[in-house]
Amino acid sequence: MSSPPVALLTGITGQDGSYLAELLLDKGYSVHGVVRRTSNVVRSRIEHLRADPQLYGSRLSLHYGDLSDGTTLRRIFAEVRPAEVYHLAGQSHVGLSFEIPESTCEEVAMGTLRLLEIVRDQEQPVKFYHASSAEIFGRASESPQTEKTKTAPASPYGCAKAFATQLVSVYRQSYGMFACNGILYNHESPRRGQNFVTQKIARAAARIARGLQQELELGDLESRRDWGHARDYVLAMWMMLQHPEADDYIVATGETHSVRDFVEAAFAVVDLPWEQYVRQSAALSRPTEPGRLVGQAMKIRDTLGWQPSASFPQLVQEMVEAELAAIDRGAAATHHP
Ligand code: NAP
């Protein structure tokens, strides 16, 4: 019997990492995840996988490491000998990158360079996926954006992702490495971090409906994003590494919705008039908002046959219902379904 393919994930404890780990385990992979040392050992998004004795310690393993620690990452590679690497780790909040620009750039930009250098030195062939972002386009010169649109980041996060994205294509061209950029537009899910606007809205709608919160304060309600579902987007990552040739792909729905649309849809799930509960606050707006970010995902659709399956109303409904269920289980504070 041939041994299962081996995948190494950075950022396995994050939203995307947890869905991708489930997908790869379902496909029969042996999955290795890099986790940071934290004071709290409960890794809520992957706890259900870690608690499964059929998986943990056999087809799922976790390794302590940090993007800043190249020696340890190199040791993990030597031990695991991965065939596929999904690099998802890093500070992922655009707004926060204005507050912690140096660590954001260190993790997102230099962390990717460190990994590319390690991949370059591997004896076995390694396929590398890099979690790029629509934020590389920032104040985009055209809309919708394609793989050919010029980068014009509008935040420290966008700058760091643009650097990492360009490095990935330089390493592909210079060393013939199988390295792909997935240029992903915003994607959400019930596992989205709590300081992201979509989760903040979903959570508030559920808490207001259950009488646990009185109001919701938001920044610019007219801000628009191309929002997809994380489960669909991790499938796109996997598909990129199964194609015979490495390339860069936009992953997007091609539709935009405003924060106001999200609020309306979320409060509709709990049947409440959102205008009575939502307040706009200038203090929550970003120093600079990106331009109209909407992706044209024709290349990935035509080349790999990928397309999003979840609609915007389905996404919002799933997020609000997950929050309601968490409150009803009495576990809202620490919950990740
Ligand atoms: P997320 O939920 O914030 O997860 C980030 C992951 O990175 C977590 O596992 C985190 O570990 C880990 N991490 C952060 N800094 C690290 C470090 N120094 N060393 C090791 N691990 C570190 O993000 P996500 O939504 O899953 O996104 C995954 C990737 O896609 C990110 O690179 C993000 O920038 C990119 N991306 C996301 C979107 C989106 O809409 N979600 C769109 C485009 C691109 P802890 O659990 O210990 O914090």
| Cα Rg of the chain, angstroms | 20
Atom 6 in ligand 1: which residue has the minimum CA distance? Answer: 11
Helices 230-242, 15-26: axis angle to 10 degrees equals: 60
Check pocket membership of 47 for ligand 1, CB cut-off 6 A: no
Q: Is the CB of 135 under 6 A from ligand 1?
A: no
**pLDDT tens for residues 39-51?**
888 899 999 999 9
Q: What is residue 336's predicted lDDT score, i.e. its pLDDT?
A: 55
pLDDT digits (tens, 9 = 90+) for 67-120: 999 999 999 999 999 999 999 999 999 999 999 999 999 999 999 999 999 999
Q: Please tell me whether residue 180 adopts helix, strand or coil conformation.
A: strand
Span from the CA of 91 to the centroid of ligand 1 (angstroms): 6
- Any catalytic annotation for residue 133? yes
Maximum Cα–Cα distance across the chain = 62
Residue 110 DSSP class = I
Query: For domain 197-224+256-296+311-335, which CATH number applies: 3.40.50.10490, 3.90.25.10, 3.30.70.60, 3.50.50.60?
Result: 3.90.25.10
**Beta bridge mates, 248:** 181
pLDDT at residue 231 tops 50: yes
| 89 pocket-lining for ligand 1 (C-beta < 6 Å) | yes
Inter-axis angle of helices 312-328 and 197-209, nearest 10: 50
CATH superfamily to which 6-189+227-251 belongs: NAD(P)-binding Rossmann-like Domain (3.40.50.720)
Q: Give the distance (Å) from ligand 1 centre to CA of residue 2.
A: 32
- State phi, psi for 289 to the nearest 5 degrees: -90, 140
87 has which bridge partners?
Answer: 10, 130
pLDDT at 290 over 80: no
Per-residue pLDDT reduced to its tens digit, 133-153: 999 999 999 999 999 999 999
Q: Are 162 and 279 in contact (CB under 8 A)?
A: no
Q: What is the location of CATH 3.40.50.720 in the chain?
A: 6-189+227-251
The separation between CA 155 and the C-alpha centre of its own chain, rounded to angstroms, equals 17
Whether the per-residue pLDDT at 287 is higher than 70: the answer is no
66 C-beta closer than 6 A to ligand 1: yes
Q: Say how many Å lie between the CA of residue 153 and the centre of ligand 1.
A: 19
258 belongs to the catalytic site: no
